[in-house]
Structure 1
Amino acid sequence: MKQSLQLKLGQQLTMTPQLQQAIRLLQLSTLDLQQEIQEALESNPMLEVSESEDSGDDSSSSSDADLKLESSATETISESNKEEADWQENIPEDLPVDTHWDDIYQGSGSGNVGPERDDSYFDSQIDNTETLQEHLLWQLNLTPMSDRDRMIAMAIIDAVEPSGLLSTPIEDIYRGLARVVDGTPEEADDSEWEAPNEVDAATDEDDHDRLDIDEVFAVQHRLQLFDPIGACSESLSQCLMVQLNQFAKDTPCLDAAKMIVSEHLLQLGNRDYKQIMRRCRIKENELKQAILLIQQLTPHPGELIGSSETSYIVPDVFVSKKSGRWLVELNPDIAPKIRINSNYANLVKRADSSEDNTFLRDNLQEARWFLKSLQSRNETLLKVASCIVDKQQGFLDFGPEAMKPLVLHDIAEDVGMHESTISRVTTQKYMHTPQGIFELKYFFSSHVSTDNGGECSSTAIRAIIKKLVAAEDPQKPLSDSKITSLLSDQGIQVARRTIAKYRESLGIAASNERKRLV
């Protein structure tokens, strides 16, 4: 094969570094944006936080640098500096496409001066959630127990799942311990292995050293009384029974509750109350009291320990009604107000190629682009949020049942942007409304046709389903077919399988599982 050189012409879509930065900031959530700004403040000496308590000449110059008020990042520098135009002439407006900061500005990555910090202390303060096994081991260390029982207890705790139940049957745990204590070969078939009976134990010379399954059960019973009560149980029925045993013996309907938990837990889950009353030979009033007693129990005691941290939502946009009009405002507290440090900016000299001046020039240009990207993000977010509020005023006035169908294409046409940009803006961005706090994507939904030729949003249909289920008869809950019929009476034609899908998305159980005793 002969080698040759050829020239080809072609078109390719490329993005400048500042455009890539603007797109990346646009899709960041509030917490990620705060972290990004903090990293920029630490790495770029040209950026600083705008303090509200500044006064005199400093406050007048910093007000021009405020991100909320400036229309151009270059206005952040004091107007009294007459050489501003000189050093700005040598700073390019755009970088070549497909380049990185380090390719043009070698000093941009070295802005973080000083010794490196050890964040292990802060990580240890944040990651301090205690797991269930650690909580059980802590109680085990405080409990007087023989070494043999402690070994059994540690084996049982190792098999505890986060829910509090055992992931391995207690017999399997006993077999594993027996191999260690009694020296049973690991190659032995578990299906043929049996616990030694009393006759074999009596004839064994080392009877006192052999592990008995009753020892494992005894240690398990002790662990089940640890906090939380019922942990280390094999099944849900056993876990609930341990908790019921902690009630006083004179508790009303305690025996009935124990019988239901031990023998009729499946029927209780299926709401088959008639069968439970027939088998337990109890009346409806007694069944109600027994069910109320069972509802006080914890089916997954492990969830009480080591629960996940609560995450709080900080709204990006506030919506309020003033003088009969809906107003949209950005949350001023979602990110610190930053500006360019005028003192450092004034140190940039014209026609000076020294290393220090190049470092300042590079960081100044990077700071200007960062401020422009932040301003563009805020303007785009405010524009999209205002358009959503304009189209969903019915929701703001009357609630989810008045939600109108809306897709990304509708907003993209009104604001003159691409649908992908609208998708980035509405992801992980939240709006505070009189109806509550919602993600911007919540206001987008598909639609179904109505009998009068109109359209009904899927969000509105979910709200109607939720309202119908809340008002249903607990003894005769509405089935999916019945809900379909009720919606049809309102002019909304929806298939039964669609109703089932919407019901499951709302976390509403099926009709047979919603049945209650009045």
Structure 2
Amino acid sequence: MKLGPTLVLRQRTQLKLGQELQRAIGFMAMDNLELARCLEEAAAENPWLSLRLPPVLDRGAPDAVAAAEGVSLIAHVLAHMPGLVPATADRRIALALAEELDDSGFLCRPLPEIAQRCGVPSARVEAVLAQLQRIEPRGLFARSLSECLSLQLPDVEAREDRMRRLLDALPALARGGPAALARDSGLPEGEVAALLARLRRLDPRPAGAFVCAPARVRVADLLFRPARNGWCAELNPETTPSARLADPGSAAVPRGSALSRARGEARSLIAALERRNASLLALGRVLAREQAGFLSEGAIAQRPLTRRAVARELGLHESTVGRMVDVGAAATPSGTLPLRRFFCHEVRRGGDGGASAPALMARIAEIVADEPPGAPLTDGQIAARLTAEGLAVSRRVTASLRTRAGLGNRAARRRKAPGSRS
């Protein structure tokens, strides 16, 4: 056995991202307005960059009202969120709920839609919402006026049978006054008057004391237009920034000088921008082809489509596609939609003809809307109808999709039927 120092040669290959590719990947994580602001900052320091900024970018208007006094509602919620939602994994859901608050402090989007956007069950969103509803002032994160007032009452008073019946029938007050409220709640008019006097001492706008910052408007990065053979996708010229190499006026640029390095930096940035825009356009063309039915007919015609499948077709990494999908939006006949709305999983795997969850939820909503008044269908009957249409799903899956669509079970729909009594 020989002991002593020796020289060993090993060969190893390693993939490294160049500066241009790194910058292009960073640009893919920005929407067009964020990208325009980033380019504007770069152009302020680089004389070689000439920009065409989108007209939507109002450089004279700040993102928030800096001069406003007081605290905004979202800042108040974010400050109290760690104490209200201790689980770090639930903070993403809590933030999604906070983004849906209107100026009065009410949730302006149904929970099933928020759950679908977060990719979690509706029951989990319900649990996080219950935690957030403990925030002060009470009444924030309510889904209706009745719930807002109920949150402000002591627990014993809110659970009292008379108050609960009055709150459940509260929408009747706007339709027909105290008499209609008494009729729908089944309470004497004297008790209704006393309970209403108690409710009038509560605050129907719990967020009224907070500063209302201007909401950021989502703009479309892509445009989907009907074409002769389907749909076509294009970059939105009203929001897409562009850059070109400018001449700062110097006749000769010494090699290795600061001006020469700035020119190289500008070329790299322009190439990264063009690469990002080309990737976004390629993504839009795949979506226009694969989700032509969704664009024409809505969710009922949406096909299953995953980010992994799109990344494989484009020759990109799945995380790269995910960056563009998470921040991008597109103008469609239904309005401006986030790109993640074009992606969904197949409900039934392993067979031909599997449908997407949004399509099945839309079909279930149609079946429920057409069911006989006073005789709602069971989940098994709905599943049987779907199976007869070639969409074989179990009763359990049907019940789950019905809940995600925001539709009550058979008993709840029977109570809401005209002429029924709860």
* TM superposition score normalised by structure 2: 0.62
Residues 188-267 of structure 1 mapped to structure 2, 5 A cutoff? 233-235=152-154, 263-266=161-164
1:494 counterpart = 2:399? no
Deviation at 1:324, TM superposition (A): 5.5
Please tell me the root mean square deviation across aligned C-alpha atoms, in Å. 4.5
1:516 aligned partner, one-letter code = K
Deviation at 1:403, TM superposition (A): 1.5
What secondary structure is seen at the aligned counterpart in 2 of 1:302?
coil
Residue of structure 2 in register with 1:103 after alignment: none
Residues 309-388 of structure 1 mapped to structure 2, 5 A cutoff? 310-323=215-228, 325-344=230-249, 346-351=250-255, 358-388=257-287
1:14 aligned partner, one-letter code = K
2:161 aligned partner, one-letter code = E
Equivalenced residue count is 326
Counterparts of 2:389 and 2:383 in 1: how far apart (Å)?
10
Counterparts of 2:327 and 2:387 in 1: how far apart (Å)?
35
Which among 138, 141, 149 is matched to residue 163 of structure 1? 138
What secondary structure is seen at the aligned counterpart in 2 of 1:447?
coil
Counterparts of 2:22 and 2:63 in 1: how far apart (Å)?
34
What secondary structure is seen at the aligned counterpart in 2 of 1:380?
helix
Residue of structure 2 in register with 1:22 after alignment: 24
What secondary structure is seen at the aligned counterpart in 2 of 1:48?
strand
More off after superposition, 312-321 vs 496-505: 496-505
Counterparts of 1:128 and 1:425 in 2: how far apart (Å)?
35
1:286 counterpart = 2:186? no
Counterparts of 1:369 and 1:238 in 2: how far apart (Å)?
66
What secondary structure is seen at the aligned counterpart in 2 of 1:321?
strand
Deviation at 1:371, TM superposition (A): 0.9
1:124 counterpart = 2:66? yes
What secondary structure is seen at the aligned counterpart in 2 of 1:427?
helix
CA shift in 2, pair 1:48/1:126, >3 Å: farther
Residues 71-150 of structure 1 mapped to structure 2, 5 A cutoff? 124-125=66-67, 129=71
Deviation at 1:331, TM superposition (A): 0.8
CA shift in 2, pair 1:454/1:299, >3 Å: farther
1:157-189 Cα shifts (integer Å, max 9, x gaps): xx9813348xxxxxxxxxxxxxxxxxxxxxxxx
2:235 aligned partner, one-letter code = L
Which among 28, 36, 39 is matched to residue 41 of structure 2? 39
CA shift in 2, pair 1:407/1:517, >3 Å: closer
Deviation at 1:472, TM superposition (A): 4.5
CA shift in 2, pair 1:30/1:483, >3 Å: farther
CA shift in 2, pair 1:378/1:336, >3 Å: closer
Percent of aligned positions with the same letter in both sequences? 25
What secondary structure is seen at the aligned counterpart in 1 of 2:327?
coil
1:422 counterpart = 2:397? no
What secondary structure is seen at the aligned counterpart in 2 of 1:431?
strand
Counterparts of 1:300 and 1:474 in 2: how far apart (Å)?
34
1:72-95 Cα shifts (integer Å, max 9, x gaps): xxxxxxxxxxxxxxxxxxxxxxxx
Counterparts of 1:396 and 1:508 in 2: how far apart (Å)?
24
Cα contact 1:25–1:374 (8 A) shared by 2: yes
Deviation at 1:265, TM superposition (A): 4.2
Cα contact 1:478–1:511 (8 A) shared by 2: yes
Deviation at 1:40, TM superposition (A): 1.3
Deviation at 1:451, TM superposition (A): 12
2:405 aligned partner, one-letter code = L
Structure 2, unaligned runs of 5 or more:
55-61, 77-133, 141-147, 170-178
Cα contact 1:163–1:301 (8 A) shared by 2: no
Structure of higher CA gyration radius:
1
Counterparts of 1:36 and 1:51 in 2: how far apart (Å)?
11
Which among 299, 302, 306 is matched to residue 206 of structure 2? 302
1:193-233 Cα shifts (integer Å, max 9, x gaps): xxxxxxxxxxxxxxxxxxxxxxxxxxxxxxxxxxxx97995
1:114-145 Cα shifts (integer Å, max 9, x gaps): xxxxxx9976237855569x9xxxxxxxxxxx
* TM superposition score normalised by structure 1: 0.52
Deviation at 1:374, TM superposition (A): 0.8
